[in-house]
């Protein structure tokens, strides 16, 4: 049996991870790691309010959210996402040196502690995007 010609092979759209992180250095490091070590694209939005405004048009496959954001924390941001039908189904992975474990557990959400372990981050992203 021969392989299908490239034009006939089913192509999957590249999945997009939106990183909501106000620390420029951390955000750039995350983008670099994700784009070099996975087939996914990454986009940074440094402000939660801007992210809320833009997410419906962007339609990411995963949100990687810092808990401590200017103007609102990550849980407040998540709760606002749940009020918008088009963003309600986007999976969210929190990251922080001090995760609000009780609030995450109440909402059945996942979180990783900073400093992030690269292997754990990448395997968690893979699991969440399956």
Which tens digits make up the pLDDT trace of 74-85?
999 999 999 999
Q: Between 10 and 72, name the one with better pLDDT.
A: 72
* pLDDT recorded at residue 1: 44
Mean pLDDT of the region 17-22:
98
pLDDT at residue 128 tops 80: yes
Six-digit token string for 19: 């990183």
pLDDT at residue 8 tops 70: no
pLDDT at residue 117 tops 60: yes
Domain map (residue ranges) of the chain: 16-129
**Under CATH, to which class is 16-129 assigned?**
alpha beta
Compute how many other C-beta atoms are within 10 angstroms of the C-beta atom of residue 15: 15
- The model's pTM is 0.89
For 87-101, the pLDDT digits (tens) are 999 999 999 999 999
Per-residue pLDDT band at 12 (split at 50, 70, 90): confident
DSSP state of 83: T
Coil, helix or strand for 95? strand
Six-digit token string for 17: 């991870």
């Amino acid at each position: 049996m021969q392989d299908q010609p490239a034009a006939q092979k089913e192509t999957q759209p590249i999945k997009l991870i939106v990183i909501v992180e106000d620390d420029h250095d951390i955000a750039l490091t995350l983008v670099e790691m994700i784009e070099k070590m996975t087939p996914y694209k990454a986009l940074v939005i440094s402000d939660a309010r801007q992210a809320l405004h833009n997410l419906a048009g962007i339609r990411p496959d995963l949100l990687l959210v810092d808990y401590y954001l200017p103007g609102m924390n990550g849980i407040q941001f998540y709760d606002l996402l749940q009020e918008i039908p088009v963003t309600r189904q986007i999976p969210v992975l929190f990251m922080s040196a001090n995760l609000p474990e009780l609030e995450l557990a109440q909402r059945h959400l996942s979180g990783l502690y900073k400093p992030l372990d690269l292997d754990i981050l990448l395997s968690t992203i893979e699991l969440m995007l399956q």
